[in-house]
Amino acid sequence: MVKTAFLYAGQGAQVVGMGKDLAEAYPEARALFDRANAALGYDLAQICFEGPEAELTKTENAQPGIFLVSWVAQELLQSQVSNLKSDATAGLSLGEFTALTAAGVMSFEDGLNVVRQRGRFMQEACEATEGGMAAIIGLDEAATREVCMEAEVELANLNCPGQLVISGTGAGIEKACELAKERGAKRALPLPVAGAYHSRLMESACPKLEAALREVELNLPAVPVISNVTAQPHATAGEILQRLVEQVTSSVRWEASIRYLIDDGFTRFIELGPGNALTGFMRRIDRGLEIHNVADVPSLEKTVAALNE
């Protein structure tokens, strides 16, 4: 029996037009976009479909937009592949909320609203601090941690072998990029983001997110959901709340999360949502795994065909 994990996209995957062809091709997808608009009280679908890019890129729109397109991709895939279910879920940063919602921890509406609020709280933290992020390519974790200590920045994402992301003040990121290149990094690239995600500069968002989560009914997950913070399955509802708050300022341990699933016997992984960044990470973690992604009509049709063979 093949063990299947659903993986959900994180912030940065947003692109103007995401979900539009799915909504045009499938009435059930259009209905989900309408349901989201009703839950939020504004036209998120229009922002996803038409932009403008500056509006979609705002954290408070990008996060619920990616959540929504990921959900639509999941629902369409499961409607077209009989008996397809996830035996575990995981999501990159924002995607962890989608993964938890998919596992029944929150309702669709609650998940969408919490993600919208999380985006707003993080946007406020970005505006209150002068922060940034950079991708460090081709330098190992130990050397990158040394660079972070010297530059007084933090390791934000451990995505896959050879691809780490750092986060901190603008001056700290600039210094860290110079140090990383001196230590042998192939590239050290500042990222086009609004602030220093997954660092202490996001601390002001934590109590606000905790308060928002306390307004939501959290259930035990129906399948294991891997925590970004611990790279282990979530346990109690109280622990889920605590980990989601910690996640805002903690490193995203993505490679370790995937390796946990591989060690547990998972061989099929399906990325759901805009882009295919997680598919790229998967190939660098273990090329021998079965990996699919659903982001639009062509990728949906390709994945459906593969899974129905």
**List 70, 86, 93, 251, catalytic entry:** 93
For 177-223, the pLDDT digits (tens) are 999 999 999 999 998 888 899 999 999 999 999 999 999 999 999 99
Quote the pLDDT of residue 283.
Answer: 94
250 confidence band (pLDDT: 50, 70, 90): very high
Task: Please name the residues in contact with 309: beta carbons below 8 A apart, sequence gap of 6 or more.
Answer: none
Asked if 115 and 93 touch (Cβ cutoff 8 Å), the reply is: no
pLDDT > 90: percent of the chain: 95
Whole-Å CA distances, 18 to 45, 111, 285: 9, 19, 27
44: its two tokens: 């998120």
Asked if 295 and 73 touch (Cβ cutoff 8 Å), the reply is: yes
292 confidence band (pLDDT: 50, 70, 90): very high
Quote the pLDDT of residue 130.
Answer: 85
Quote the pLDDT of residue 192.
Answer: 80
CA distance 252 to 152: 18
Domain edges within the chain: 4-127+200-308, 130-190
268 confidence band (pLDDT: 50, 70, 90): very high
Whether 73 shows a pLDDT value over 90: the answer reads yes
- Verify whether residue 107 is a known catalytic residue: no
* Nearest alpha carbon to residue 264 among 299, 230, 224: 224
266 confidence band (pLDDT: 50, 70, 90): very high
CA distance 124 to 139: 32
The CATH classification number of 130-190 equals 3.30.70.250
Per-chain mean pLDDT for the chain? 96
227 confidence band (pLDDT: 50, 70, 90): very high
Indicate the angle between helix axes 94-102 and 108-128, nearest 10 degrees: 170
For 87-118, the pLDDT digits (tens) are 999 999 999 999 999 999 999 999 999 999 99
Fold held by 4-127+200-308: Malonyl-Coenzyme A Acyl Carrier Protein; domain 2 (3.40.366)
- Verify whether residue 251 is a known catalytic residue: no
Quote the pLDDT of residue 48.
Answer: 98
Phi then psi for 272, rounded to 5 degrees?
A: -120, 125
Task: Please name the residues in contact with 196: beta carbons below 8 A apart, sequence gap of 6 or more.
Answer: 126, 129, 131, 132, 133, 153, 154, 156, 167, 168, 169, 173, 202
pLDDT > 70: percent of the chain: 100
Quote the pLDDT of residue 1.
Answer: 87
* Nearest alpha carbon to residue 63 among 236, 201, 209, 181: 209
**List 198, 227, 250, 257, catalytic entry:** 198
Phi then psi for 207, rounded to 5 degrees?
A: -65, -30
